[in-house]
């Protein structure tokens, strides 16, 4: 079996809240699958929390819960209004989908003792799309999965069972409204998800998610027509265009509620438009026109770069690739195409700058892609609560409309508040699998919960999100809450301290990416270098180097080009610096490296003491990082640790 995570309804305060869980009246909504799902959730909660069946009324009661339809002009398609009036709790919304979110939020308020007769909560989602991407393969494995195997696929077949519904329920409870169930690297049996072999089962999956207001998406093999009569994937070839139009009709005839497709092309060996001398816009728009009659979306990943770089080449810079390939195409993408842009220009490192594509494209739909599967942040072995990091990314000022523009933050761009765009949102590469607790490490579920809540409301505070999750998952006990909150809130800074310093990134073991290997990728083809020698460390990305910094708008451009102005947490990402360079702390770079790695190791040990369990592997990992990184750089530069600690 499996847990219900934060939806494990425990006994609640009957004296305070029992009066609401007597009757349910639905006012203005016709009964459909989504309204039925919402009603069933309230009934389930009533039985679990109060040992009481919830009666369904055919007329307005004088106490209980009323789900009331209101105009969409007030709350939009997904917003809700929750308030109390005497012995009645009201959940107002304009659509059935919004009712789902309102019901789960109402239950959260009850379960965290935050509902009373003065409650008046209105929430309208910050982002139109709030999505989870699964990297699940049809053999049951998960690329970069750290919590068991897939609960969607096994032995090249689709799994549909009670866990499928529980997962839809779980993600709907945090406001997720879209999910892509298969790996972006579409291969072998996964290609057939849009063929007769699997399409009926995919339709059943889509219907289950639809009951919770969640749109199902599929990752699509862009090169699929090569295997059929066109024997080509050229986006301007009329035969290819016709093939895709027929394929989309075939799919939507069976799955009319499908949200659309996620596409990875021209990346890490995947064929794409570049194969035929075409642009990324040519490829995306061809699919967009084929899907347009059915209201579907094409989500096009911007993770496109040269993965066969010569490490001797000091001018080619992987960080530049996304901007170089996409920025000149601004305004050329169809209005039902969304570019999915990773938070940084590299690949989900513990620290990297925000991608310059945010602010570099003013007329193109964009989504922010983050990763809660902890590929580079501890594999869900090490605790690393990432929501504070995501908050920083969202608040980054892009200066898209000039140096006086403080409104074009990443949050405002992806939410469509800024720029001439139609739709946007946030997506996370998710961290779930078929482990009993869904996320491997119990505390890793905080990232899943936190992502959903933050995507729904980007103004929320990361610690408030953590504390809410703790109450729902563990206990209302203040000592328990404070202890777990302290661990979560200190975990990302601690992980950054004992891994790669000052924004340089990587230094991980090749392939699996857990644990230290300072030179693991230094002489490889992936463009992931630290360029350390006996005097200096870092990649020069200012005017004297690749000028990646020049891809940003002013004043960010000037800040990143100038080592004296670059934020120190990103200093080695943008500049090659002497080990003896003095930071604002008064420490040299090499002393900072020594100190932070010892400090990070001590932080890991402190977290183990606080939790009294399950941190042994993290402490061992932090110890390895500390000793290997410090020893590596001591041997490079020969500069002693000022504090005389043991470095090997």
Q: What is the CATH number of the domain that holds 227?
A: 3.20.20.80
User: How far is Cα 191 from Cα 203, in angstroms, rounded to an integer?
Assistant: 16
The pLDDT assigned to 612 comes to: 63
610 pLDDT band (50/70/90 cuts)? confident
Give, for 240, the enclosing helix (H) or strand (E): helix 238-254
> 356 pLDDT exceeds 70?
yes
Would residue 196 count as lying in a domain?
Answer: yes
Would residue 472 count as lying in a domain?
Answer: no
Bridge pairing between strands 577-578 and 536-537: antiparallel
**Quick one: 444 and 502 in the same domain?**
no
User: How far is Cα 209 from Cα 177, in angstroms, rounded to an integer?
Assistant: 9
609 pLDDT band (50/70/90 cuts)? confident
**Active-site amino acid positions:** 268, 347, 375
Return the SS3 of 355.
Answer: coil
**Quick one: 283 and 393 in the same domain?**
yes
**Quick one: 397 and 535 in the same domain?**
no
Task: State the SS3 of 511-523.
Answer: CCCCCECCCCCCC
Would residue 353 count as lying in a domain?
Answer: yes
**Quick one: 617 and 570 in the same domain?**
yes
The pLDDT assigned to 116 comes to: 93
> 16 pLDDT exceeds 90?
yes
Give, for 617, the enclosing helix (H) or strand (E): helix 616-637
- Give the phi and the psi of residue 502 in degrees, each rounded to 5: 55, 40
**Quick one: 543 and 404 in the same domain?**
no
**Residues 283-317: tens digit of each pLDDT:** 999 999 999 999 999 999 999 998 999 999 999 99
**Quick one: 535 and 562 in the same domain?**
yes
Average pLDDT estimate for 574-581: 98
Would residue 465 count as lying in a domain?
Answer: no
Residue that finishes a domain, picked among 123, 140, 161: 123
**Quick one: 141 and 65 in the same domain?**
no
β-bridge partners, 506? none
CA 18 from centroid of its chain's CA atoms: 37
Residue that finishes a domain, picked among 460, 475, 508: 460
> 613 pLDDT exceeds 90?
no
**Quick one: 410 and 511 in the same domain?**
no
Length of the chain: 648
β-bridge partners, 370? 428
Q: What angle do CA 171, 455, 335 make, to 5 degrees?
A: 105
Count of domains observed in the chain: 3
Number of other CB atoms surrounding residue 130 within 10 Å: 27
**Quick one: 111 and 153 in the same domain?**
no
Residue that finishes a domain, picked among 442, 460, 478: 460
User: How far is Cα 624 from Cα 202, in angstroms, rounded to an integer?
Assistant: 44
**Residues 201-259: tens digit of each pLDDT:** 999 999 999 999 999 999 999 999 999 989 999 999 999 999 999 999 999 999 999 99
- As given in the structure block, the two tokens for residue 517 are 């290997």
> 614 pLDDT exceeds 80?
no
**Residues 455-504: tens digit of each pLDDT:** 999 999 999 999 999 999 999 999 999 999 999 999 999 999 999 999 99
Nearest in space to 341 (alpha carbons), one of 314, 328, 316, 359: 359
How many angstroms separate the Cα of 182 from the Cα of each of 190, 202, 225, 234?
7, 11, 19, 24
Considering only CA atoms, give the Rg of the chain: 25
Would residue 481 count as lying in a domain?
Answer: no
Nearest in space to 141 (alpha carbons), one of 95, 190, 174: 190
Average pLDDT estimate for 557-573: 98
Would residue 512 count as lying in a domain?
Answer: yes
* Proportion of the chain above pLDDT 90, given as a percent: 95
User: How far is Cα 207 from Cα 85, in angstroms, rounded to an integer?
Assistant: 36
Would residue 204 count as lying in a domain?
Answer: yes
Nearest in space to 273 (alpha carbons), one of 261, 265, 263, 285: 265
The burial class, CB within 10 Å (0-12 / 13-18 / 19+), for 139 is middle
User: How far is Cα 375 from Cα 512, in angstroms, rounded to an integer?
Assistant: 8
Number of other CB atoms surrounding residue 250 within 10 Å: 14
Strands (DSSP E) contained in 193-292 are 215-220, 260-263
User: How far is Cα 281 from Cα 363, in angstroms, rounded to an integer?
Assistant: 13
User: How far is Cα 284 from Cα 220, in angstroms, rounded to an integer?
Assistant: 12
- As given in the structure block, the two tokens for residue 582 are 């003095």
Residue-range definition of the domain harbouring residue 517: 498-637
CA max distance for the chain: 81
Q: Whole-model pTM above 0.95?
A: yes
Give, for 178, the enclosing helix (H) or strand (E): strand 178-180
281 pLDDT band (50/70/90 cuts)? very high
**Quick one: 35 and 160 in the same domain?**
no
**Quick one: 258 and 286 in the same domain?**
yes
Whether cis (ω within 30° of 0) applies to the bond prior to 555 is: yes
**Residues 316-338: tens digit of each pLDDT:** 999 999 999 999 999 999 999 99
**Residues 41-62: tens digit of each pLDDT:** 999 999 999 999 999 888 878 8
- As given in the structure block, the two tokens for residue 212 are 């919770």
**Quick one: 601 and 586 in the same domain?**
yes
User: How far is Cα 564 from Cα 453, in angstroms, rounded to an integer?
Assistant: 37
User: How far is Cα 388 from Cα 582, in angstroms, rounded to an integer?
Assistant: 28
Would residue 471 count as lying in a domain?
Answer: no
User: How far is Cα 100 from Cα 402, in angstroms, rounded to an integer?
Assistant: 40
User: How far is Cα 296 from Cα 186, in angstroms, rounded to an integer?
Assistant: 19
What is the average pLDDT score of the chain?
Answer: 96
Average pLDDT estimate for 263-289: 94
15: domain CATH number is 3.30.379.10
- As given in the structure block, the two tokens for residue 139 are 């053999």
């Amino acid at each position: 079996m499996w847990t219900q995570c934060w939806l494990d309804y425990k006994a609640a305060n009957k004296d305070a809240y029992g009066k609401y869980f007597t009757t349910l009246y639905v006012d203005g909504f016709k009964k459909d699958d989504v309204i039925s799902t919402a009603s069933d959730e309230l009934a389930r909660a009533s039985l679990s929390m109060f040992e009481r069946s919830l009666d369904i009324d055919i007329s307005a009661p004088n106490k209980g819960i009323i789900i009331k339809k209101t105009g969409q002009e007030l709350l939009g398609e997904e917003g809700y209004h929750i308030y109390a009036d005497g012995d009645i709790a009201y959940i107002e919304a304009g659509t059935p989908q919004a009712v789902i979110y309102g019901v789960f939020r109402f239950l959260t308020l009850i379960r965290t003792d935050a509902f009373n007769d003065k409650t008046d909560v209105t929430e309208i989602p910050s982002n139109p799309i709030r999505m989870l991407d699964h990297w699940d393969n049809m053999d049951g494995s998960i690329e970069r999965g750290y919590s068991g195997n897939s609960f969607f696929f096994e032995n090249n077949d689709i799994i549909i069972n009670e866990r499928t519904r529980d997962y839809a329920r779980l993600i709907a409870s945090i406001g997720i409204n879209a999910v892509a169930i298969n790996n972006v690297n579409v291969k072998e049996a996964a290609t057939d998800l849009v063929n007769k072999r699997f399409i009926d089962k995919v339709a059943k999956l889509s219907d289950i998610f639809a009951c919770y207001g969640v749109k199902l998406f599929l990752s699509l093999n862009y090169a699929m027509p090569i295997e059929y009569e066109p024997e080509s994937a050229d986006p301007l070839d009329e035969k290819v265009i016709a093939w895709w139009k027929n394929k989309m009709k075939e799919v939507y005839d069976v799955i009319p509620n499908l949200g659309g497709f996620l596409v990875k092309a021209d990346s890490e060996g995947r064929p794409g438009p570049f194969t035929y001398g075409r642009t990324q816009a040519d490829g995306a728009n061809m699919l967009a026109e084929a899907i347009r009659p059915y209201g579907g979306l094409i989500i096009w990943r911007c993770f496109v770069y040269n993965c066969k770089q010569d490490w001797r080449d000091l001018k080619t810079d992987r960080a530049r690739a996304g901007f170089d390939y996409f920025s000149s195409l601004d305004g050329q993408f169809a209005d039902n195409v969304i570019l999915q842009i990773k938070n940084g220009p590299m690949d989900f490192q513990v620290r990297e700058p925000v991608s310059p594509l945010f602010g570099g494209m003013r007329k193109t739909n964009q989504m922010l892609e983050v990763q809660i599967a902890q590929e580079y942040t501890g594999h869900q072995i090490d605790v690393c609560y990432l929501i504070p990091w995501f908050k920083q990314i969202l608040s980054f000022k892009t200066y898209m409309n000039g140096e006086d523009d403080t409104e074009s933050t990443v949050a405002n761009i992806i939410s469509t508040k800024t720029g001439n765009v139609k739709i946007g949102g946030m997506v996370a590469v998710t961290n779930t699998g078929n482990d009993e607790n869904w996320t491997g490490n119990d505390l890793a579920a905080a990232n899943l919960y936190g992502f959903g809540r933050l995507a729904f409301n980007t103004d929320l505070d990361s610690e408030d999100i953590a504390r809410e999750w703790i109450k729902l998952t563990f206990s209302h006990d203040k000592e328990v809450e404070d202890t777990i909150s302290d661990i979560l809130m200190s975990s990302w800074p601690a992980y950054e301290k004992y891994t790669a310093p000052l924004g340089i990134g990587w230094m991980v073991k090749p392939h699996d990416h857990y644990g230290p290997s300072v030179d693991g990728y230094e002489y490889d083809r992936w463009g992931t270098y630290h360029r350390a020698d006996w005097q200096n460390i870092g990649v020069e990305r200012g005017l004297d180097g690749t000028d990646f910094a020049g891809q940003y708008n002013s004043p960010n451009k000037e800040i990143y080009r100038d080592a004296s102005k670059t934020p120190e947490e990103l200093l080695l990402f943008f500049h090659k610096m002497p080990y003896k360079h003095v930071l604002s702390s008064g420490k040299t770079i090499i002393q900072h490296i020594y100190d932070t790695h010892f400090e990070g190791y001590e932080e890991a040990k402190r977290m183990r003491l606080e939790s009294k369990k399950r941190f042994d592997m993290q402490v061992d990992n932090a110890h390895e990082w500390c000793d290997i990184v410090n020893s590596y750089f001591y041997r490079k530069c020969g500069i002693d640790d000022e504090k005389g600690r043991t470095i090997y």
